[in-house]
Amino acid sequence: MSRSRKKSVRSEREGLRVFITGGASGLGRALAEHYARQGARIGIGDINNARGAETLAALRKLGAEAFYITCNVTLEDDLIIARDHMIEHYDGVDLLFNNAGVAHSGPIDDTTLEDWQWIIDINLLGVVRGCRVFTPTMKAQKSGYIVNIASMAGLINPPQMAAYNVTKAAVVALSETLKIELHRYAIGVSVVCPAFFRTNLHETQRSTSEDLLNFTRKLVGKAKVGPEEIAGKIAAGVAEQRFHILTHKAEERIWLFKRFAPYPVFAKAAIKRAEAVMHRKRPAAAKP
């Protein structure tokens, strides 16, 4: 994108019109509060109305002009209402975060088609709906920026997370497509791929076993960074108009290894790593 375009995004950070799906808690709330401190006008959508009210109060305490609206990303009509609310109150939208998502873990043969359909409808089609609904407004404005929240799981594909990995990989592919497709309309696109950080994603996680669920919760609980730090890194990446916004250096190195090494070399290393993790998860054998 041109230098003039990059300059305009940076100079417009104050007063930006921002809409965030899944904005009532976790990373969504952290993003809302970050941009509120920058003077942005914020719209947050979520299905948890109690948390939505709490986040709205926090944003207004920061002095932000903000609203909360019930928004289920599996319902395109909810996103249309949210978009229309942004147009009515803020005369458009500058920055869209397709953030709402859920998680699933389990081996391929234990994961039901119902679970596949559930996670695809939210993690992938929820992002598709957000892009579909808000893109015409940005085209009419001749400006805008879309940020799709994916995951490092969509880049490096850890085992026993097939359904989750597939949805996040698809979000990366969608974002790559839109990066090229929407360039002519002066609409920018970034895709965010974080690794584990302290968040409440486990509250909506489905798993085929309690052991896998507990393992994920342990990784989230032990994470060194929280949503506020991740939100700050995302905002910095958006300001620089980076396409891939990768928030964790160790996992970024794994992805770079995957990209540049012959795949059999990467696969061998990944299998070895997975076996080591599974070995640590197995309970010690009882002594006679």
Which of 126, 189, 148 lies closest to 27, judged by CA?
148
Using one digit for the tens of pLDDT, what is the confidence trace for 62-79?
999 999 999 999 999 999
Segment 10-20 mean pLDDT? 72
What's the confidence (pLDDT) of residue 157?
A: 92
In angstroms, rounded to a whole number, what is the distance separating the alpha carbons of residues 87 and 148? Answer: 21
What's the confidence (pLDDT) of residue 269?
A: 93
Residue 93 lies in a domain: yes
Residue 271 lies in a domain: no
pLDDT higher than 50, residue 10: no
Segment 51-64 mean pLDDT? 97
Per-residue pLDDT band at 133 (split at 50, 70, 90): very high
Per-residue pLDDT band at 188 (split at 50, 70, 90): very high
- Percentage of the residues of the chain whose pLDDT score is greater than 90: 76
> If DSSP codes are grouped into helix, strand and coil, which group holds residue 103?
coil
Residue 134 lies in a domain: yes
Per-residue pLDDT band at 5 (split at 50, 70, 90): very low
pLDDT higher than 60, residue 219: yes
What's the confidence (pLDDT) of residue 77?
A: 98
Instruction: Say what the pTM is.
Output: 0.89
- Give the chain's domain count: 1
pLDDT higher than 50, residue 234: yes
In angstroms, rounded to a whole number, what is the distance separating the alpha carbons of residues 42 and 17? Answer: 6
Residue 29 lies in a domain: yes
Q: Which residues contact 257 (CB under 8 A, 6 or more apart)?
A: 266, 269
Cβ 198 vs Cβ 221: under 8 Å:
yes
Segment 218-239 mean pLDDT? 86
Residue 154 lies in a domain: yes
CATH number for the domain that contains residue 90: 3.40.50.720
pLDDT higher than 50, residue 25: yes
Per-residue pLDDT band at 145 (split at 50, 70, 90): very high
Residue 273 lies in a domain: no
CB atoms under 10 Å from CB of 129, counted, come to 22
pLDDT higher than 70, residue 12: no
* Residues spanned by the domain of 21: 3-259
pLDDT higher than 60, residue 287: no
Residue 238 lies in a domain: yes
pLDDT higher than 60, residue 7: no
pLDDT higher than 50, residue 1: no
pLDDT higher than 70, residue 210: yes
Which of 155, 173, 150 lies closest to 97, judged by CA?
150
Residue 275 lies in a domain: no
Segment 238-259 mean pLDDT? 95
In angstroms, rounded to a whole number, what is the distance separating the alpha carbons of residues 86 and 282? Answer: 51
Extract the tokens encoding 47.
């299905």
> What's the whole-number average pLDDT of the chain?
89
What's the confidence (pLDDT) of residue 285?
A: 42
